[in-house]
Structure 1
Amino acid sequence: MKKLVVLFVMISSVSLAQRGHKDSNRIGIGAGLTQMSIYTDNFSVTPEAGWIGGLSVRGNYYNNWQMSFGMFFTDSNFSIPSQNGLLQGKTMYKMSAVQIYIVPSYVAIEDHLNLEFGPVLQINGKLTIDKDDENNLLLDQPGLIAKDIVDVSKINANFYVGINGGIKNVRARIGYQYGLTNFFGNLKNNDNVKLLGEKMKGNIGLISGQITIYL
């Protein structure tokens, strides 16, 4: 993780050094909320609220195009129907991740509105759940319990589209990420999943809204 932070700072420094005299080249500090879902035929997933925050650099590139570099940390959540004894409810899953993106940005209205799109590299650990929920039976897959599906893919590629609008120093940023890789790819190594004889496949869907302050 330290190496990623150092790399981001180096990229930011180079960008600012090259374009430092133009107002549109700024470091931004942003934070906001997320709503995460998983597109899958294996489970009935309910999106849940989470948070996101981090640093970004927005710099001039060519004519009406800019380039954005960013590193964000997120705890995003979703839930799956489950049963504990005779009680039915849902199990909440949390994904803690760092996201790194380098995306082009079209200046629709100078100093006020940018349209953004591009790739996001996501590095995450295992999903986390409350200890009391680990043995909940998953209603969509009765052969599995909640802790059987926490070991998801650790490196994921997403595609981001969004808008960045407001005034020069304060912007609202609203975006959507779709996972291009199989988020449940690692589950093939779980013995209980193997017994099902069913392929686990899921793609991330992540909505985020942030307020970014540019320094």
Structure 2
Amino acid sequence: MRKLTFIILLISTVAMAQRGFKDSNRIGIGAGVTQLNIYTDNFTVTPEMGWIGGFSVRGNYYNNWQMSFGMFFTDSNFSIPTLKGLQQTQTSFKMSAVQIYIVPSYVAIEDHLNLEFGPVLQVNGKLGIDKDDENNLLLDQPGLIAKDIVDVSKINANFYVGINGGIKNVRARIGYQYGLTNFFGNLKNNDNVKLLGEKMKGNIGLISGQITIYL
């Protein structure tokens, strides 16, 4: 994955640089916060705050259009109501992921405002939970405990829309991602989920806000 990412970044940088000195080619480093929701009928999900950070390359493509390539790392969180012993509580789940995107953007105001949209490839591991919460009973699915739903789909496709605004070298980037794939698709392999006879389906909804510094 690291070698592939480096090759894509190198090609993107070289290709954008060929358009000349007048183009607004930029390498950006950004970081910010996220709020993760999962749209599903299987659980009552409460969005929680997380973080996101990484780098991007942005350059002119054609007329008022630019292309942007980026790789970001995120720890984003949500919670589900559970029963721990005799006490009802919210159990938090962490999604650690790498996101790679190549998206076009429309230059609404030169050097100040871009409108962005396009696909995002997300690679993530299992959901993370505190060890003490692994055996919490899921209130929405009494036949399952928290650790039964951590083995989610590892590769997901999202669609991103957002704005990138500010001054030439410092931008605020606000965006929304919707998951096109079934985030809970991999749960069909869990024996306890099979016993329920219920299809697990969920789609990611991720809001992010970042500050990007362009070098």
Q: Which residue of 2 aligns with 1:35?
A: 35
| Unpaired segments ≥5 residues, structure 2 | none
Q: What TM-score do the two structures reach when normalised by structure 2? A: 0.97
Measured on the aligned residues, the alpha-carbon RMSD in Å equals: 1.1
The structural deviation recorded for 1:14 is: 1.7
Would you say the 8 A contact 2:175–2:207 is kept in 1? yes
Would you say the 8 A contact 1:93–1:127 is kept in 2? yes
1:86-97 residue pairs with structure 2 within 5 A? 86-97=86-97
Letter matched to residue 61 of structure 1: Y
SS of the aligned residue for 1:213 comes to: strand
Q: Which residue of 1 aligns with 2:171?
A: 171
Letter matched to residue 40 of structure 1: T
Would you say the 8 A contact 1:16–1:26 is kept in 2? no
Count residues with an aligned counterpart. Answer: 215
The structural deviation recorded for 1:12 is: 3.6
Letter matched to residue 83 of structure 2: Q
SS of the aligned residue for 2:18 comes to: helix
1:120-199 residue pairs with structure 2 within 5 A? 120-199=120-199
1:77-104 deviations in Å (ceiling 9; x for gaps): 0000001101111110000000000101
Q: For residues 211 and 23 of structure 2, what CA distance do their matches in structure 1 show?
A: 19
| Unpaired segments ≥5 residues, structure 1 | none
Q: What TM-score do the two structures reach when normalised by structure 1? A: 0.97
SS of the aligned residue for 1:127 comes to: coil
Letter matched to residue 198 of structure 1: E
Letter matched to residue 64 of structure 2: N
Percent identical among aligned pairs is 87
Letter matched to residue 213 of structure 1: I
1:90-109 residue pairs with structure 2 within 5 A? 90-109=90-109
Would you say the 8 A contact 2:16–2:60 is kept in 1? no
